[in-house]
Chain A
Amino acid sequence: EPEVTQTPSHQVTQMGQEVILRCVPISNHLYFYWYRQILGQKVEFLVSFYNNEISEKSEIFDDQFSVERPDGSNFTLKIRSTKLEDSAMYFCASTGQEDYGYTFGSGTRLTVV
């Protein structure tokens, strides 16, 4: 069964450092998303991406965040200057049709120290 692949599975970074989280969505999917889940809290939307541009973003997705699809397969989330409160599990998701449910990747646990 096709999978959404995320790397790394766990990243520890110092406050103020830049991190890049990587995702390989399912190959024939067209819609890509980043969500995050702070420990014990709900899954929160960050950004959606379609046709090589951001289609929607949440209030969480401020100027410190950016997304890119640098080639035909990778989809990245960059956090420019990490804060302690950025510590969370970050999930990439993709879907082939906008109205379908998403397939989530296994997540990257980001720990900011």
Chain B
Amino acid sequence: QKEVEQNSGPLSVPEGAIASLNCTYSDRVSQSFFWYRQYSGKSPELIMSIYSNGDKEDGRFTAQLNKASQYVSLLIRDSQPSDSATYLCAVRKGSQGNLIFGKGTKLSVKP
């Protein structure tokens, strides 16, 4: 079983729609969860972190965490063409340790 799994996509949404990105993880002890955005040929850029069950909102982004289901999601409201990128889910291994990344979901926002 892969440690962090994401649907590779591509996920295509029209401009102004809500994009929903999902991630599951295998290590039940994981406590810290992150979403990164990576444009083609560029480095990952941190957009959200979440540590507790529930929702966390930051501007157009909402991260959702359900530790019982080992599931993390990212919602992007009012999607813009500039949001077109690969979104990486990252999970801290155990209670302290390095981040483990999923393969990423490619998002395409069509004007």
Contacts and interface: CB of A to CB of B under 8 A. Distances in A.
Interface residues of A, number: 21
B104 A42 contact: yes
B102 A42 contact: yes
Contacts, number: 48
Contacts of B98: 33, 45, 48, 56, 58
A42 B103 contact: yes
Contacts of B43: 91, 104-107
Nearest to A31: B98
Contacts of B100: 45
Contact of A43 (B44, B49, B92, B96): B44
A28 interface: no
A105 to B, nearest CB: 6
B25 interface: no
A4 to B, nearest CB: 9
Given A43-B44, A91-B43, A101 B49 contact: yes
Contacts of A98: 96
- Residue of B31, B32, B36, B44 with most partner-chain A CB within 10 A: B44
B60 interface: no
B88 interface: yes
B45 interface: yes
Contacts of A42: 88, 101-104
